[in-house]
Amino acid sequence: MKGVEKSAPFAITVASMNSARINNYRMAAYAALAVGLINLRYQTGAESNFMKSAALFIPGALLIALTFTSVGKKWLETRNAALTLSIVGSALLIYSFVL
């Protein structure tokens, strides 16, 4: 059977691995979007609040959009995407705590 991992106790297909990865990207994107919008609300009136919050919710919105397009899904399945999003995601996570 092509595309099935044989070392697992149950059949794991490449398609199911990819859909799980896309789902993880959606969850991370939703978290960034939510943190950015929550920050925007709770720091109302603070100087440059919109730009600080936008640094979180814009990448989150872009990543969610990527997970729903065929070109985005194809790119998100690559190792390059995983590395890039890990670095950017880590930076956004740190930024959300510093913010």
Q: Does a structural domain hold residue 47?
A: yes
Q: Is residue 13 part of a domain?
A: no
The full DSSP string for the chain is: -TTEESSSSS-EEHHHHHHHHHHHHHHHHHHHHHHHHHHHHHTTTSTTHHHHHHHHHHHHHHHHHHHTSHHHHHHHTSHHHHHHHHHHHHHHHHHHHH-
In this prediction, residue 52 carries a pLDDT of 86
pTM value?
0.75
Expressed as residue numbers, the domain containing 36 is 22-98
Q: How many domains does the chain have?
A: 1
Indicate whether 2 pLDDT > 70.
Answer: no
In a domain, 6, yes or no: no
In a domain? residue 50: yes
For residue 14, being part of any structural domain is answered with: no
Residue 3 falls within a domain, yes or no? no
pLDDT in tens, 7-24: 555 555 555 557 888 999
